Structure 1
Amino acid sequence: MRDPDRLVYFKEEVGGLVYGGYELDPIPVASGEITSDFHFQLFEPDWDHFLPLAQAAASRIPALADAGVRLLTNGPEAFTPDGKFILGEAPSVRGFFVGAGFNAFGIAAGGGAGRALAEWIAGGEPSSDLWPVDLRRFGPHHGDATWVRERTLEAYAHHYTMAWPDEELVSGRPVRVSPLYERLARAGACFGSKNGWERPNWFAPSGVEPADEHTFARANWFEHVAAEHRATREAVTLFDESSFSKLLVTGPGAEEALSWLAANDVARPPGRVVYTQLCNARGGIECDLTVTRLDAERFYVVTGTAFGVRDRSWIERHLPPGPALSVADVTEDFAVLGLMGPAARRVLAAVTDDDVSEEAFPFSHHRRLRIADAALEALRISFVGELGWELHIPRDAAGAVFDALWEAGGEHGMRHAGYRAIDSLRLEKGYRVWGADLTPDDTPLEAGLGWALKLDTPRPFLGRVALEAQRAAGPPTRRLVSLRLADPEPVLHGGETILRDGERVGWLTSGGFGHTLGVPVGLGYVRARGAVDAAWMEAGRFEVEVAGEHFAALASLRAPL
């Protein structure tokens, strides 16, 4: 029996009762207290520390107040900074595999974790999606023992507490910040943390505290994000995206290597930006990123904030034999500003003498521009479905470029916008995110990304054989679809069940609210006995289950907007 409200658990044990709990004020093990010869040992009992848990247990089972205690067991427990265990090969040491930090559920997870790790060792890669526990989820700040200790204590204290949607841990912050952090804080940013980076989730107007209020209902930031969303669709917004992970792949073998790894055709002339997946031998999606060719031997790879270590490791572990190349992490070298919205070109033209017209700077292209006397890399790409540019700026010039854009954007109604707006905007357009909508268990054909495959060319790439076989078999029996509810009131968080004609056929991988559409929207995989195609979709009646209620939904293989 578990009682999370009281932070305690109980189980029968040889005619008696064992109980314990997860206190809100854990005691860290002092440095050096556990030595190399510390095996299956315990610490001295600490009755004072255990007393609040004992009192909570007695309030659940009153008979405990008069029961005798035979033994108080006090020993160390391995926890991690995010409360999830660790599996996988160390990205910096080939052949060194880790299975550790099981956060008090090692017995429950041990069988599956052992099998998964054995398969990884034997096969050279995981046999299924293990991202939540993958060692490569950790960034450079996880090498700071002080930070790890502070964050792990907070994670432990949350082990039995309520898990709120969008909840942010607060210890050890800030640790990684963009050069625009102070400007954004003054502008009312409510920051979230991802891979250690402070990122604006939303912006509070004057008189509103920039803080999340935890709830399963509609959040306190809903209307503020709606305003940022509408400004992006109707005017222009400025996003700080400096936390994007950035890799520079260079050398005479760069084109050949990336052509083997990328499912799309990256062997384009300098100045092109290519959206692509990197697949495993099963055709599953290991990475989802953009590749920009800067010149004959230099490629600039941009991926998500949390995926830099993982994606770099995947690239380095799967390079084909060939000419030399190097893969460098340049994340900290560049700030990134997302200039998005119908007025983006007018704002950009006002701050540069370079030609940014449609003819001179079309979609999926890269140009070097000069703004505020700084040379920067501009990528004509968008994750919100509007005209826009990613501006990759040398770190020390970020402030001047930001100020120039903000001044020029005033007459166009420019607003600050954060990552919650990005999520709302991208869901309306059906744009996928790796780790939720795309995983190593999903293929591009299942994810509706067949258009980004070079299967119609003769070029080999990792995963091609599996994808050719899947395509030859006909439409997949499992597909990613977009859903929009008819009722505007339900709150989607992701994970909700999808039903077709009353039968459970899948679940949402992402969920949110589409402020242009005025209704909740989501993405999710559905499965059929036959092909999931347009005819199957149109013939069914779809619903989404939210908090035990079923709500009618319009499901489509196309984006809702």
Structure 2
Amino acid sequence: FTPDGNYIMGEAPGLRHFFVGAGFNAYGIAAGGGAGWTLAEWVMSGEQPLDLWSVDIRRFSDLHRDGDWVRERTLEAYGKHYTIAWPHEEYQSGRPRIVSPLYRRLKARHACFGSKLGWERPNWFAPAGVEPKDIYSMGRQNWFEAVGEEHRATRERAALFDQSSFAKFEMRGKDAERALEYICANRIARPPGRLVYTQMLNSRAGIECDLTVARLEEDRFYIVTGTGFRTHDFAWIRQHVAPGLEARLMDITEEYGTLSLMGPRARDILQQVTDDPVGHEAFPFGHMREIRIAGHKVRALRVTYVGELGWELHMPIGVTGKVFDALVGAGAPHGLAMAGYRAIESLRLEKGYRAWGADITPNETPHEAGLGWAVKLKSGVDFLGREAALRQRDEGVGKRLAGFTIADPDVVLNGRETIYRDGEPVGWLTSGGWGYTLGTNIGYGYVRRADAPVSNDWLDAGTYELEIACERFSCRMHRGVLFDPDMKRIKC
């Protein structure tokens, strides 16, 4: 039995050629055929043959070495095997387990926390008089309006997000650039101070990792990825560093806290707490600088996952509280708001940013996902997955990610809704939610075509519907970015 009710498969992280197939939660006979085939393919090829993230051993971390915690969580998980699976439902056992230095500050501001790989993270903030507690339903849940306020604060003023749970790695060594150039699909050979968004691909060009790489020095790189992908991404990178290269990968997640300051007034707030220049010319998008806030060194990364001007601020974990207090004080006159992960979700849906594990997985490739612009095919540099990516670029793809909108506020999209084109099922939503700025439901999903590559003309010629709770609703299909397609709000 396992702490999330799913079985455990794959190569054990840090132990090459040792494969696991266990923890079948009393349905091993039912799962045996498929599990046996996928595990055999994995052993023979060295790669999972399809997206197996929900059962991948790398979804766990050192937290799962704690036997008492595992037993407590497993009892809750197995007890829910036949209960209603509510959207956005959180486990309650074994919490809080890992907290950021801001936990008490955020709790005092009425944060409602969720849990990701053991970390307590603010999902949303309750307004005065409202209990910070999720009330689950299949319709709009009780946090809908509160998240809308956080979303609008980010778009109209500024918001502060505690993202200290981000997984953070550092690669050092004279061959670090060479190692990363092969593993990463985007170009890493850039000067110190540059920041690169990139995927890491398997041999089929499937997306194994989706992260950012900042060059600190000639032989040092700072890698940031999602909280839940810490074990997976670390194992993938380490496994694919070519033998003989001098490139050491280190996990430094607990050494740094992370605050994301986002919104049109983010620069005004940041400039008040640092003497370092943060104007667009001095500090362009896609760059990293070391600045001082409240007297402390901070790695400032000009990047965004919400579609607004902003910075990820990475500081030594022990000074996270002091940096937070300085930003809150400077932000008060600007209407700075606290915001959580559910606001991030609605903001990124409007901007069309992909989420690994949902919109992009080892099943999908950059050209299918609309991320071909981040693949260095024109550079002539070899990288893992290059041949497969070249074939897809030249021959086309049989499925493509598209956006879908339904303006009806009574409709609720959560993902997995069936997509119909001209009355025929062609896929399903990989993610869905409400866009508060655009005032519409937004979903993303892959439109499939069996007899020919998916072209722009073919996509545009169709009439689309989504099936929601056994009822079909007409929707609009979008190939482009819904919000700020020219990135004017980001690159200002």
Amino acid of the residue matched to residue 416 of structure 1? M
Amino acid of the residue matched to residue 73 of structure 2? R
Query: Which of 429, 432, 435 is the equivalent residue of 1:511?
Result: 432
1:469-548 superposed matches below 5 A = 469-474=391-396, 476-528=397-449, 529-548=451-470
The match for 2:231 is: 309
1:278-357 superposed matches below 5 A = 278-357=200-279
Do structure 1's residue 145 and structure 2's residue 145 form an aligned pair? no
Cα distance in structure 2, aligned partners of 1:313 and 1:146: 25
Query: Any conservation in 2 of the 1:487–1:551 contact (CA below 8 Å)?
Result: no
Q: 1:349-396: CA deviations, max 9, x gaps?
A: 000000000000000000001001110100000000000100001001
Query: Any conservation in 2 of the 1:483–1:560 contact (CA below 8 Å)?
Result: no
TM (norm. structure 2) is 0.97
The match for 1:73 is: none
Amino acid of the residue matched to residue 463 of structure 1? G
Shift of 1:537: 2.1
Moved more, 124-133 or 374-383: 124-133
Do structure 1's residue 201 and structure 2's residue 201 form an aligned pair? no
Moved more, 91-100 or 286-295: 91-100
The match for 1:112 is: 34
Shift of 1:525: 0.6
Query: Which of 7, 30, 46 is the equivalent residue of 1:124?
Result: 46
Shift of 1:322: 4.0
Query: Any conservation in 2 of the 1:424–1:512 contact (CA below 8 Å)?
Result: yes
Shift of 1:443: 0.4
The match for 1:7 is: none
1:64-463 superposed matches below 5 A = 79-463=1-385
Q: 1:424-462: CA deviations, max 9, x gaps?
A: 000001100100000001000000000001001110000
CA RMSD, aligned part only?
A: 0.8
> Could you list the runs of 5+ residues in structure 1 that have no partner in the other structure?
1-78
Shift of 1:532: 2.2
Query: Any conservation in 2 of the 1:487–1:552 contact (CA below 8 Å)?
Result: no
Cα distance in structure 2, aligned partners of 1:302 and 1:505: 34
Cα distance in structure 2, aligned partners of 1:95 and 1:537: 43
SS of equivalent to 2:216: strand
Amino acid of the residue matched to residue 458 of structure 2? W
Cα distance in structure 1, aligned partners of 2:86 and 2:277: 47
Cα distance in structure 2, aligned partners of 1:424 and 1:369: 30
Cα distance in structure 2, aligned partners of 1:283 and 1:267: 21
Moved more, 112-121 or 294-303: 112-121
SS of equivalent to 1:88: strand
Amino acid of the residue matched to residue 514 of structure 1? G
Cα distance in structure 2, aligned partners of 1:481 and 1:239: 28
Shift of 1:211: 0.4
Cα distance in structure 2, aligned partners of 1:388 and 1:486: 29
Shift of 1:92: 2.0
The match for 2:487 is: none
Q: 1:142-199: CA deviations, max 9, x gaps?
A: 1101100110111111111111111111000011111111100000100000111100
> Could you list the runs of 5+ residues in structure 2 that have no partner in the other structure?
484-492
SS of equivalent to 2:4: coil
Cα distance in structure 1, aligned partners of 2:472 and 2:157: 36
Shift of 1:483: 1.0
Shift of 1:533: 2.5
Runs of 4+ in 1 over 4 A off after TM superposition: none
Shift of 1:534: 2.2
Query: Any conservation in 1 of the 2:241–2:247 contact (CA below 8 Å)?
Result: no
Cα distance in structure 2, aligned partners of 1:383 and 1:158: 33
Amino acid of the residue matched to residue 269 of structure 1? P
Percent identity between matched residues is: 60
Shift of 1:469: 1.0
Query: Any conservation in 2 of the 1:335–1:395 contact (CA below 8 Å)?
Result: yes
Q: 1:193-233: CA deviations, max 9, x gaps?
A: 01111000000011100000010011100000000000101
SS of equivalent to 2:261: strand
SS of equivalent to 2:481: coil
Q: Which one scores higher on RCO, CA 8 angstroms, separation ≥ 6?
A: 2
Amino acid of the residue matched to residue 487 of structure 1? D
Shift of 1:250: 0.7
Amino acid of the residue matched to residue 256 of structure 1? R
TM (norm. structure 1) is 0.85
Shift of 1:531: 3.0
SS of equivalent to 2:228: coil
Query: Any conservation in 1 of the 2:414–2:433 contact (CA below 8 Å)?
Result: yes
Query: Any conservation in 1 of the 2:8–2:23 contact (CA below 8 Å)?
Result: yes
Cα distance in structure 1, aligned partners of 2:473 and 2:61: 40
The match for 2:486 is: none
Amino acid of the residue matched to residue 143 of structure 2? W
The match for 2:480 is: 558
Query: Any conservation in 2 of the 1:334–1:395 contact (CA below 8 Å)?
Result: yes
Cα distance in structure 1, aligned partners of 2:34 and 2:474: 37
Cα distance in structure 1, aligned partners of 2:245 and 2:66: 36
Q: 1:481-522: CA deviations, max 9, x gaps?
A: 111113222001100011111111110000000001111101
Query: Any conservation in 1 of the 2:261–2:311 contact (CA below 8 Å)?
Result: yes
Aligned residues: 482
SS of equivalent to 1:146: helix
Cα distance in structure 1, aligned partners of 2:76 and 2:102: 28
Cα distance in structure 2, aligned partners of 1:560 and 1:533: 19
Amino acid of the residue matched to residue 213 of structure 1? I
Shift of 1:549: 1.4
